């Protein structure tokens, strides 16, 4: 009935500066009977209403235009529609007859934007020990490590599972860049590469150099250089919430109560605060200026000296938080400042990340709550209890629930942050989506992943059908034997990624939900000059008439206006509207 979002089709400048004037557009259906439109904003906290003018009229819609001046770093606004049925408010939460809180306002931010290249990114996540093993010689394994052959099963749920080392390294990643490039991904995300005492390396023993087991400093420098030569980028992974208990800072803090490092952690006598009660993961105390200085130096050093293009921050929702200490926002803004412009800063967050995504901290967060969890809930065939620690089985959603959850989370953050959230079906921290959803539904999930807003991420192996029923089991080594790969899934991922990278509407376009029922969702992605429709069907359903002349993509049929759209399922179809 009425729509607006923060994409270029509706906002003349999605990244304005302070004092800039920005044109905003709203579209209203002719059946709504809209007579006048106002934009309400609150510069310096003072309510202001600007009347919109008619920009253009189509046979079915009216487009309204108004001008906003960005007075404050965050400019919230909403539309007031005078219609035949009475006044209606249009906010990021949708249309409402009653007033809604300011939390639902559309938001423009005048903070420096993410790097321009980020919107074009397709992310490929690599767990270095499990991706590719080079033939380069390596020294003896440390005493904590337990060697495994590449085809050995993951010993998940058993003692020492986190010490099982398969021997993947960064030289191996560089040797397999052809695979990543052929897939179409252009941003490699490495889980931690620092020395540690586990295969996941989130228990860093130092931030000073790259783990020799992974090839050391030269391997990382070579990898980033080779990736850059192909037009690809690389980001690393760092913990700002904790270190490992073998970290030199923590060892000194325990042994020397008078040391500066003692203030880096929360000590209570000989006891100390930890992440999730794990004693090998002592928690950082960000009240220490020296700790912040050292961490900021690490954040800046690896892009400067090793060629990284940014970072993903582990367990970011907890960094700087402990009891009465609340420094999470300061951690985000300080890290952003240390990283500098032109580099990407993403963060892990399992929940509502809206407070951290106003525009001056993380560029985006991992959209577990706003993307992965609703997709699992709609498409899971196996109602597993492997659901990010939530007690009980995966809930059963209909398509209307999927859309409602996604809209609710998106409504709480600026569009620019929403568009730079990392979207995912699974990761190194989950079971494999394929094991939860099955092959056909994995393909539906991939269609959602590559056509909805956000920076889509593929966990290495998803594209060839790797499975895993548990977090640890999901970290199986990559099956380089072609006989062990699902080539049909690989081809589908390649086609969807190519479509995304080739279509402005999928990379930077707005989102409008057109249909959301139990077994089907239909949505529009639109940018100036290009509009795509995407229908994802979990099961067969009643057809709906094509809303316009539609040209099929990726095998979808061409349709005339009013012709029934496909009603089969599980299936997805993608069209471009006729210009």
d(CA 237, CA 555): 38
User: Which token pair is 148?
Assistant: 């495994």
Q: Quick one: angle between helices 439-451 and 487-502, nearest 10? A: 10
Q: Is the pLDDT of residue 579 over 70?
A: no
Over residues 214-246, the pLDDT tens digits come to 999 999 999 999 999 999 999 999 999 999 999
Over residues 471-511, the pLDDT tens digits come to 899 999 999 999 999 999 999 999 999 999 999 999 999 99
**Average pLDDT, stretch 556-573?**
97
Over residues 49-59, the pLDDT tens digits come to 999 999 999 99
**Closest C-alpha among 108, 24, 16, 20 to residue 66:** 24
Give the pLDDT score at 384: 82
d(CA 209, CA 375): 38
Strands 422-424 and 455-459 turn out to be parallel
**Closest C-alpha among 267, 258, 265 to residue 244:** 265
d(CA 433, CA 436): 5
Give how far Cα 172 sits from Cα of 104, 124, 179, 214, 467, Å: 47, 15, 12, 9, 22
pTM equals 0.97
Give how far Cα 125 sits from Cα of 100, 337, 466, 577, Å: 39, 25, 14, 33
Over residues 421-441, the pLDDT tens digits come to 999 999 999 999 999 999 999
Contact 188, 226 (CB under 8 A): no
Strands laid side by side in the 187-190 sheet: 364-365, 344-347, 310-314, 233-239, 187-190, 123-126, 455-459, 422-424
DSSP for residue 500: H
Q: Is the pLDDT of residue 81 over 90?
A: yes
Measured over the CA atoms of residue 353, residue 354, residue 359 and residue 363, the dihedral's sign is positive
Burial 530-555 (b: 16+ CB within 10 A, else e): bbbbbbbbbeebeeeebbebbeebee
**R_g of the chain computed on alpha carbons:** 25
**Average pLDDT, stretch 95-111?**
95
**Average pLDDT, stretch 442-447?**
98
In order, the DSSP letters of 326-365 are E-HHHHHHHHHHHH-TTSEEEE--SS--GGG-SSSS-SEE
Give the pLDDT score at 158: 84
At 450 the three-state DSSP class reads helix
Over residues 261-273, the pLDDT tens digits come to 999 999 999 999 9
d(CA 273, CA 275): 7
* Mean pLDDT over each residue of the chain, to the nearest integer: 96
User: Which token pair is 151?
Assistant: 């085809």
Structure confidence at residue 96 as a pLDDT band (50, 70, 90): very high
DSSP for residue 265: B
Over residues 115-166, the pLDDT tens digits come to 999 999 999 999 999 999 999 988 789 999 999 999 999 988 888 889 999 9
Give the pLDDT score at 203: 98
**Closest C-alpha among 263, 238, 234 to residue 250:** 263
DSSP for residue 483: G
- Phi then psi for residue 132, to 5 deg, are -155, 135
d(CA 198, CA 217): 19
With residue 274 as reference, give the H or E element that holds it: strand 274-275
121-504 CATH pick, 3.40.50.300, 3.20.20.80, 1.10.10.10, 3.30.1360.200: 3.20.20.80
Give how far Cα 128 sits from Cα of 89, 196, 240, 378, Å: 50, 13, 20, 31
Q: Is the pLDDT of residue 402 over 90?
A: yes
* Domain ranges for the chain: 2-109, 121-504
With residue 439 as reference, give the H or E element that holds it: helix 439-451
Q: Is the pLDDT of residue 343 over 90?
A: yes
**Average pLDDT, stretch 281-307?**
98
d(CA 442, CA 452): 15
d(CA 239, CA 350): 15
Over residues 362-389, the pLDDT tens digits come to 999 999 999 999 999 999 998 888 777 7
Give the pLDDT score at 93: 94
**Fold matches, 2-109 and 121-504:** no
Strands laid side by side in the 550-553 sheet: 510-516, 520-527, 530-537, 571-577, 550-553
Give how far Cα 265 sits from Cα of 262, 271, 298, 366, 436, Å: 6, 10, 18, 26, 39
Looking at the domain that runs over 2-109, which CATH code has it been given? Answer: 2.60.40.10
User: Which token pair is 93?
Assistant: 């939460």
Give the pLDDT score at 383: 84
């Amino acid at each position: 009935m009425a729509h607006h979002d923060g994409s270029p089709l509706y906002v003349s400048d999605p990244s304005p500066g302070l004092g800039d004037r920005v044109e905003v557009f709203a579209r209203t259906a002719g059946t709504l009977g809209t007579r006048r439109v106002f934009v309400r904003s609150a510069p310096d906290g003072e309510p202001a209403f600007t009347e919109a003018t008619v920009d253009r009229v189509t046979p079915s819609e009216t487009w309204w235009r108004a001008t906003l001046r960005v007075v404050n770093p965050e400019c919230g606004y909403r539309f007031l529609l005078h219609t035949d049925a009475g006044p209606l408010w249009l906010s990021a939460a949708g249309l409402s007859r009653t007033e809604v809180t300011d939390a639902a306002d559309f938001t423009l931010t005048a903070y420096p934007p993410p790097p321009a290249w980020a919107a074009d990114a397709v992310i490929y996540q690599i767990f270095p020990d499990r991706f590719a093993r080079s033939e380069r010689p390596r020294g003896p394994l440390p005493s904590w490590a337990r060697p495994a052959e590449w085809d050995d099963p993951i010993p998940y749920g058993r003692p020492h599972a986190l010490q099982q080392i398969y021997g993947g390294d960064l030289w191996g990643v560089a040797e397999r860049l052809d695979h990543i490039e052929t897939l179409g991904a252009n941003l490699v995300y490495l889980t931690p590469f620092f020395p540690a005492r586990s295969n996941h390396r989130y228990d860093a023993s130092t931030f000073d150099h790259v783990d020799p087991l992974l090839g050391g400093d030269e391997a990382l420098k070579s990898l980033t250089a080779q990736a850059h030569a192909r037009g690809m980028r690389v980001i690393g992974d760092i913990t700002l919430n904790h270190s490992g208990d073998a970290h030199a800072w923590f060892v000194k803090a325990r042994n020397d109560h008078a040391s500066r490092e003692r203030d880096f952690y929360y000590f209570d006598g000989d006891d100390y605060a930890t992440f999730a009660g794990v004693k090998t993961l002592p928690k950082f105390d960000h009240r220490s200026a020296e700790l912040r200085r050292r961490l900021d130096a690490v954040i800046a050093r690896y892009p400067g000296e090793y060629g990284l293009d940014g970072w993903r921050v582990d367990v970011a929702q907890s960094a700087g938080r402990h009891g009465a200490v609340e420094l999470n926002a300061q951690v985000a803004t300080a890290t952003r400042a240390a990283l500098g412009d032109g580099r990407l800063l993403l963060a892990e967050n399992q929940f509502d990340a809206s407070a951290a995504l106003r525009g001056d901290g993380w560029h985006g967060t991992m959209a577990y709550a706003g993307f992965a969890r609703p997709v699992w809930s709609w498409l899971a065939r196996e109602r597993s209890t492997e659901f990010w620690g939530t007690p009980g089985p995966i809930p059963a959603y209909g398509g209307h629930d999927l859309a409602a959850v996604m809209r609710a989370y998106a409504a709480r953050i600026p569009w620019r942050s929403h568009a730079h959230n990392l979207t995912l079906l699974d990761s190194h921290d989950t079971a494999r989506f394929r094991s939860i959803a099955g092959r056909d539904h994995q393909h539906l999930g991939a269609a959602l992943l590559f056509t909805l807003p956000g920076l889509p991420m593929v966990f290495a192996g998803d594209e060839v059908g790797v499975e895993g029923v548990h977090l640890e089991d999901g970290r199986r080594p990559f099956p380089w034997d072609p006989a062990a790969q699902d080539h049909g899934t690989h081809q589908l991922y390649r086609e969807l990624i190519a479509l995304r990278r080739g279509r402005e509407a999928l990379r930077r376009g707005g989102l409008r939900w057109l249909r959301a029922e139990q077994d089907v969702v239909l949505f529009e992605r639109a940018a100036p000059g290009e509009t795509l429709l995407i229908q994802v069907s979990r099961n067969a359903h009643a057809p709906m008439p094509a809303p316009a002349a539609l040209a099929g993509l990726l095998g979808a049929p061409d349709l005339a206006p009013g012709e029934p759209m496909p009603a089969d399922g599980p299936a997805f179809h993608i069209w471009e509207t006729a210009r």
